[in-house]
A and B are shown apart, each in its own frame.
Chain A
Amino acid sequence: MLLGLWLIGGGVAAGFFGSLLGLGGGTLIVPLLTLVFNLPLLTAVGVSLICVIVTSGASAGVFLERHVANLRLGMTLELFTAIGALIGGLVAFLLPERALEGLFAVLLVYTSLSMARRGRVAGGPEEETVVDGEPPDDTFFDANLSGPTYRVRRVPAGAAGSVGAGVVSALLGIGGGIVKVPVMHLVMGVPLRVATATSNLMMGITASAGAFIYLSRGLIDPFVASPTALGVFVGASLGSRVVHRIDLRILRGLFIAILLYTALQMLLRALS
């Protein structure tokens, strides 16, 4: 029973801090299950994909009802993230576990660098409309995927980035927001708030596509996945309620250090 409670507690912590820092559950769940509970990486990835679906379902439902997420854009791009997840889920079983651990270490370093960069620009006004000198393309998708205050452009580039996000999601058990949000925001001209909400929406189907591969290999253990997912749900719900009341600067600095330390541990595990 104690181990089950620890799994729930770990899930609560991962969901809570993931929600506060915009990390998503997966980035913290996989190191938790491998480094603390000593589970094989692929088992941890399978459990993490379940947790990603939980956080996606809970948050995307709200984002859609509030009309923040763009359903048409999300569905168009998730066709490509799902294809990527199918590829990533199959490739994950061809790679040695050490290679995946090394890749996860790289992901953690990249995530901590992204957090450091975000911390430097925090406090600036959120971009609501994207204005630049480039005339928008006038294809069917560019016109139909746009929102009332923004115009979507470079859909093929967004589709290519989405395939990459799907591959990374199924390989490493993450939501892939770290790839999708910059692609939508910087490449496709989607406002950051809409890109984040739409990315959350897409994570559900992307993680499902990957999770079915892991399920068929017997790598989703209900006794590990259930308490962890329950904890992530509770933690993410708590996090979304207190995020506006917490000064995130210190927490962000602390987690940059924790992620870098975790990356080192993951690298050592890969090399051991």
Chain B
Amino acid sequence: MTAGPRHAPALDLDRTVGRLLTIGTYASILLIAIGCVLMFAARIDPLAGGPALEPGLIIDDITHLRPAGFMWLGLVVLLFTPIARVVVSLFGYISRGERTMAIVSVLILVVIAASIVIGNVEA
């Protein structure tokens, strides 16, 4: 297989995925920064132990301007940004008919799902 025709369209996917990573990281850092400002304003000792992740409480915490809501949303966005990158790549490879790379993408998502499931079962 030659590199030429296969590498030309890949450049667009690189750019899309790269932009997604940048936007996801900046969005999460913005949320985390807001959370930090609220934590300082509330004079919370960061080493006293923060609340565990309760997905159902995030929106409520944010509407009440509690720091943990912004922090957890930022951390969740951060954790899922690389995963979103794999999902976008998967669709990119499917649209080009690159079956092997699409399978690789699916397998990565399976491993990530396994780490979420096994982690929770073990815990």
List residues of chain A with CB within 8 A of the CB of B83: 205, 208
A 1-43 binary contact with B (CB < 8 Å = 1; else 0): 1011101100000000000000000000000000001010000
B 12-54 binary contact with A (CB < 8 Å = 1; else 0): 0111011111101110110011011001100111111111110
Task: Find out whether the CB atom of A89 lies under 8 angstroms from the CB atom of B48.
Answer: no
Task: Find out whether the CB atom of B35 lies under 8 angstroms from the CB atom of A1.
Answer: no
Check: B94 CB closer than 8 A to any chain A CB.
Answer: no
User: Would A53 and B112 be within 8 Å (CB), given that A37-B47, A144-B1 are in contact?
Assistant: no
Task: Find out whether the CB atom of B119 lies under 8 angstroms from the CB atom of A212.
Answer: yes
User: Would A212 and B79 be within 8 Å (CB), given that A205-B86, A222-B68, A230-B36 are in contact?
Assistant: yes
> Which of the segments A67-75, A106-114, A117-125 contacts the partner chain?
A67-75
B 91-123 binary contact with A (CB < 8 Å = 1; else 0): 000000000110011011001101110111011
List residues of chain B with CB within 8 A of the CB of A215: 53, 79, 119
Measured between C-beta atoms, what is the minimum distance from A5 to chain B in Å? 8
Chain A residue with the shortest CB-CB distance to B23: A61
User: Would A86 and B118 be within 8 Å (CB), given that A79-B107, A230-B36 are in contact?
Assistant: yes
User: Would A220 and B1 be within 8 Å (CB), given that A4-B39, A54-B29, A64-B17 are in contact?
Assistant: no
Task: Find out whether the CB atom of A72 lies under 8 angstroms from the CB atom of B36.
Answer: no
Task: Find out whether the CB atom of B122 lies under 8 angstroms from the CB atom of A90.
Answer: yes
Tell me the complex Cα distance, A69–B11, Å.
11
What are 20 A-to-B residue pairs whose CB atoms are below 8 Å?
A: A4-B40, A53-B82, A58-B21, A58-B25, A61-B19, A61-B21, A64-B21, A78-B108, A83-B111, A140-B100, A141-B100, A144-B6, A204-B85, A213-B115, A213-B119, A216-B120, A223-B44, A225-B75, A226-B71, A229-B78
Q: Which residues of A contact B (CB under 8 A)?
A: 1, 3-5, 7-8, 37, 39, 50, 53-54, 56-58, 60-65, 67, 69, 71-72, 75-76, 78-79, 82-83, 85-86, 89-90, 93, 140-141, 143-144, 146-148, 204-205, 207-218, 220-227, 229-230, 233
Q: Which residues of B contact A (CB under 8 A)?
A: 1, 3, 6-7, 10-11, 13-15, 17-22, 24-26, 28-29, 32-33, 35-36, 39-40, 43-53, 67-68, 71-72, 74-75, 78-83, 85-86, 89, 100-101, 104-105, 107-108, 111-112, 114-116, 118-120, 122-123
